[in-house]
Structure 1
Amino acid sequence: MFDIEHSLLYACEQLVYDNEQLMLFNILGLMLRSDRVKQEGVILIVDDDEDILVAGKLLLKRHFSSVQICNQPESIPRLLSEQKFDAILLDMNFGPGESSGAQGYLWLEKILEIDPQAVVIMITAHGGVDVAVDAMKLGATDFIAKPWQNEKVVATLSSAVQLGRTRTEAKDLRNTNKVLAEVSGAKSGQTLLGNSAAMKVVFSLIERTAPTDANVLILGENGTGKELIAREIHAQSLRSNKVFMSVDLGALSETLFESELFGHKKGAFTGAKEDRVGRLQAANGGTLFLDEIGNVPLHLQAKLLTVLEQRMVTPIGANLAVPIDVRVITATNVSKQDLSLETKFRQDLLFRLNTVEIELPPLRKRSEDIEVIAAHYINLYARKYDKADKTLAASALVALEHYPWPGNVRALRHAIERAIILSQGPELEVLDFQLDAQPNQAGDIVAPPTSTSANTAISESDDLNLDRLEKAAIKQALQKHRYNISHAAKELGLTRAALYRRMEKHGF
């Protein structure tokens, strides 16, 4: 091995008669004296000087996973279409006598036109430093002067590869965020429907409020479509191309409230194994929808108020506050009267949230909208379950319009889905909807049993079937609390999510 090293060095000494051969000598010497671990990275060298190409490849292939060379700049578009390069070494001049750098400028512009994220390092002679600086103003990342120093070339390329990776990751992240924003703000199969006077007022408020950044408080019973209103406001706002983030505060425990909304730093508490971005930061630039705001305890309301007033959020365990730019839309099924009580809701927070107030009427107070809502969901679920087109019988429409719909539009939607699945004829009849109460001979709907009668029915029944008992208990709790999901879930000893699953199971 010792004899081979001396033979190579002697051969190099015979070739050293100008700067290019000197670089080759240095590279061969470095190859014999080092055994460095290769860095992941694909490098392209573009130069019309074969000695530069050979010297560069010999040097860089010891440090990077792949090195390609090109002596004809006309091949650059083809190479870029075939391979993603982490860094490109581009000569400023091609052809004998060229020293203006015009060709380097031309190919730099073409490379950046093909790939705006490309990391390009210019190769220039000592006298062409000013030209290389001009190239950096046009988008080049750095430059290397000939004759180069091997260590500087490797260091420059290592930094360039890292920069290229960072640019690619940033671009991918932007694209991912864009897709997430589109998905989060996209409308689902549910939509706002209705021609009643009450809904026209709601639509008018949305149209006037959406283009502003005013905070909006949406009031309404469960199932009236409060989140749909929030999504529609976002869709018509100037933030429509940003993220829409929905948070169900009723499903958050007090211990998770701050971590979920404000985020936390690694090690801030037991189980905090990594940094976590809170929902407020994640929604930055977009819209944050806080559902069930009326269920937030008073001491946590104070913390939320501070964040909204200062427009700054401090993650748990962090020392510095982070500025946020979000539009806040909130919703609750708590009545106006209860919200006005200091013992239940902070009035300063309420004033911060209800710059604009939109109250959604329950379905029973806009029964004239039931026909158009029913027609929409009949078509939707007929397609979903691959059923033939169905119509709504006149008697069924009368029954639906007179039914009190304690679960509002959500309950109507579930009833229609069930009817589509179970019906056997071309028309949906009253019995297909399996309403809790059926019309009498006069066409009126008999009211559902009260909580007292339901309780008596459960206690006096000899039926010990667990599924039926569970259904009866859920029905009793819902009726007792007038379909307030949070209160019913609390009485049943369930979380809101668990109660929703059981309601779906039993067809509520």
Structure 2
Amino acid sequence: MPHYPETQQAFKILIIDDEKNLRDSIAAYLESEGMEAQTAASGEAGKLLMETERFDAVVVDLKMPGMSGLDFLSWLKDGGPLIPAIMISAHGDIKDAVEAMKRGAADYLVKPFNPDELVVRLRMVVGNARLVATASAMQTVADKKNRKSLSGVDPDWIGSSPAMQEVRSLVERVAPTDSTVLVTGESGTGKEVVARLIHRLSKRADGPFIPINMGGIPENLIESELFGYEKGAFTGADSRKTGLCELASGGTLFLDEVGDMPLPLQVKILRMLQEKKIMRLGGSRQIPIDVRIIAATNKDLEQAVKQGVFREDLFYRLAVIRLRLPPLRDRREDIPILAQLFVDRYAAEMGRPSLKLGTDALELLSRYSFPGNVRELENAVERAVILCEGSELHSRDFSFAGSAMDKAPPPGSFAGDALAGEVKTLEELERAAILRTLALYQGHREKTAQALGITRRTLLNKLKEYQIEG
């Protein structure tokens, strides 16, 4: 019987509290426990974040200026994402606790509380949500409205280039069917966005959409994630677990990076597609499932078939409909509208006044090759929104990791000014950039790392290297 090592899945938690010290200390503790944490100073700011990012749970304070914690719970229950919420309060009034539960809170804690207790409760409510809810618990408000048309401007589908119009046309024709779809394209081109759109335009739109990154889960764990397991199936299996294939019944299972799927698993996926049934690890009963498969890869699967690392029969099963996404450099006419979309999104998230792209910025973006495609454009815009000091974004506000543009910053840019002034070395320039971004985010390390395009661990190493107290 195989042994599966215990793992702690990284949850993404949003903390909403008007007391900065408290929300930052909670975030720091959750991160020390392996969770990812973001913070918001008000219910309104929390709503904005939840409309642009996905979270596994939210911790919200009861009494806040503007939108109260109870009002936030009402919004979450009536129209927000279906995720569990834990209410925290300095007032141990039983009426508040009862009202919070009525409005959908999964739990209630009275300040001051032991942070270990919060961690335990978060793991419990997120775990329960993932078992009893389905991936519809991760859908946004737009998903629940079950849009059936691509008319007008879809915030998830921006592109007027001929290449994207061709993709749009194919998506509209494919979506109403139950055929498997293989989406190909370079990293960062938006393969999951297209998969979600196909799901929303399908007859399965009211069902769950469950994504799984085939290359992001250890090989010895991926079968238990997909098919689930029975109690006692292996060491540590103390209870039955429902797999993602089963949870996706009635909806769509998105297999991302399918080219990384190990050969033994390919056999089981092929059988699932043929028989519409799965078997949990340690089980003896075939469980019928009703699920549509959309797969995606940035690899050449036909070449992988020739090399013997991908099954030919599975390839043809997955590629009933093949949909290729063009790289951003092949649809440059879409760059301005995509860039402005991201500017609007991050300006709202950061509470900045309305920002627009200057002519020089648009010219810079139009010239750049974007090897990282739409994802790189979004990251570049986010950094620019952070660094810009006026109401208009200019070329000096943009940088692209590893490009020639980074090495030769334009005059008047932060990097250019640093090189022209006292800062002479690359290390001094890097230190200055870290200091400035830390100041912009008031010392918040997670946000600073995201803005700089590096991991939190890398930032911590840099702070130690440059003797920065952040």
TM value normalised by structure 2: 0.56
The answer for the alignment partner of 1:329 in structure 2 is: 294
Gaps of at least 5 residues in structure 2 are: 1-128, 146-153, 411-424, 433-452, 460-470
Please show how residues 81-230 of structure 1 align to structure 2 within 5 Å: 180=137, 182-183=139-140, 186=143, 191-230=156-195
Q: CA deviation at 1:411?
A: 0.7
Q: CA deviation at 1:225?
A: 0.6
The answer for the alignment partner of 2:258 in structure 1 is: 293
Percent of aligned pairs with the same amino acid: 40
SS at match of 2:168: helix
Q: Following the alignment from structure 1 to structure 2, what is the Cα–Cα distance between the partners of residues 192 and 440?
A: 33
Asked if 2 retains the 8 angstrom alpha-carbon contact of 1:185 and 1:240, the reply is: no
The answer for the alignment partner of 2:74 in structure 1 is: none
Q: CA deviation at 1:252?
A: 1.1
Name the amino acid aligned to 2:236.
Answer: G
Asked if 2 retains the 8 angstrom alpha-carbon contact of 1:198 and 1:366, the reply is: yes
The answer for the alignment partner of 1:437 in structure 2 is: 404
Name the amino acid aligned to 1:412.
Answer: L
| Cα distance change of structure 1 residues 247 and 214 upon mapping to structure 2, 3 Å threshold | same
The reply on whether 1:276 has 2:241 as its aligned counterpart is: yes
Q: Following the alignment from structure 2 to structure 1, what is the Cα–Cα distance between the partners of residues 427 and 397?
A: 25
The answer for the alignment partner of 2:197 in structure 1 is: 232
The answer for the alignment partner of 2:306 in structure 1 is: 341
Asked if 1 retains the 8 angstrom alpha-carbon contact of 2:181 and 2:321, the reply is: yes
Using CA pairs below 8 Å that are at least 6 residues apart, which structure has the higher relative contact order?
2
Please show how residues 380-391 of structure 1 align to structure 2 within 5 Å: 380-391=345-356
Q: Following the alignment from structure 1 to structure 2, what is the Cα–Cα distance between the partners of residues 173 and 271?
A: 19
Size of the aligned set, in residue pairs, is 286
TM value normalised by structure 1: 0.52
The reply on whether 1:247 has 2:200 as its aligned counterpart is: no
Q: Following the alignment from structure 2 to structure 1, what is the Cα–Cα distance between the partners of residues 431 and 187?
A: 25
Q: Following the alignment from structure 1 to structure 2, what is the Cα–Cα distance between the partners of residues 231 and 184?
A: 13
Q: CA deviation at 1:235?
A: 0.3
Q: Greater helix percent: which structure?
A: 1
The reply on whether 1:397 has 2:362 as its aligned counterpart is: yes
Q: Following the alignment from structure 1 to structure 2, what is the Cα–Cα distance between the partners of residues 362 and 280?
A: 31
Q: Following the alignment from structure 1 to structure 2, what is the Cα–Cα distance between the partners of residues 309 and 466?
A: 55
Asked if 1 retains the 8 angstrom alpha-carbon contact of 2:176 and 2:202, the reply is: yes
Asked if 2 retains the 8 angstrom alpha-carbon contact of 1:192 and 1:225, the reply is: no
Higher-Rg structure is: 1
Asked if 1 retains the 8 angstrom alpha-carbon contact of 2:185 and 2:325, the reply is: yes
Q: Following the alignment from structure 1 to structure 2, what is the Cα–Cα distance between the partners of residues 356 and 310?
A: 20
Q: Following the alignment from structure 2 to structure 1, what is the Cα–Cα distance between the partners of residues 209 and 141?
A: 5
Q: Following the alignment from structure 2 to structure 1, what is the Cα–Cα distance between the partners of residues 235 and 131?
A: 32
| Cα distance change of structure 1 residues 387 and 235 upon mapping to structure 2, 3 Å threshold | same
| Cα distance change of structure 1 residues 463 and 439 upon mapping to structure 2, 3 Å threshold | closer
SS at match of 2:405: coil
Runs of 4+ more than 6 Å apart: 172-175, 187-190, 461-468, 503-506
Q: Following the alignment from structure 1 to structure 2, what is the Cα–Cα distance between the partners of residues 205 and 505?
A: 42
Q: CA deviation at 1:465?
A: 12
Q: CA deviation at 1:341?
A: 2.3
Please show how residues 54-69 of structure 1 align to structure 2 within 5 Å: none
Q: Following the alignment from structure 1 to structure 2, what is the Cα–Cα distance between the partners of residues 338 and 307?
A: 24
Q: CA deviation at 1:380?
A: 1.2
Asked if 1 retains the 8 angstrom alpha-carbon contact of 2:136 and 2:208, the reply is: no
Asked if 1 retains the 8 angstrom alpha-carbon contact of 2:159 and 2:334, the reply is: yes
Q: CA deviation at 1:421?
A: 0.9
CA root-mean-square deviation: 3.5
Q: CA deviation at 1:305?
A: 1.0
The reply on whether 1:415 has 2:413 as its aligned counterpart is: no
| Cα distance change of structure 1 residues 236 and 259 upon mapping to structure 2, 3 Å threshold | same
Asked if 2 retains the 8 angstrom alpha-carbon contact of 1:259 and 1:316, the reply is: yes
1:370 to 298, 312, 335: 335
Q: CA deviation at 1:440?
A: 11
The answer for the alignment partner of 1:84 in structure 2 is: none
Asked if 2 retains the 8 angstrom alpha-carbon contact of 1:181 and 1:241, the reply is: no
Q: Following the alignment from structure 1 to structure 2, what is the Cα–Cα distance between the partners of residues 329 and 278?
A: 17
The reply on whether 1:304 has 2:276 as its aligned counterpart is: no
Asked if 1 retains the 8 angstrom alpha-carbon contact of 2:361 and 2:393, the reply is: yes
| Cα distance change of structure 1 residues 269 and 229 upon mapping to structure 2, 3 Å threshold | same
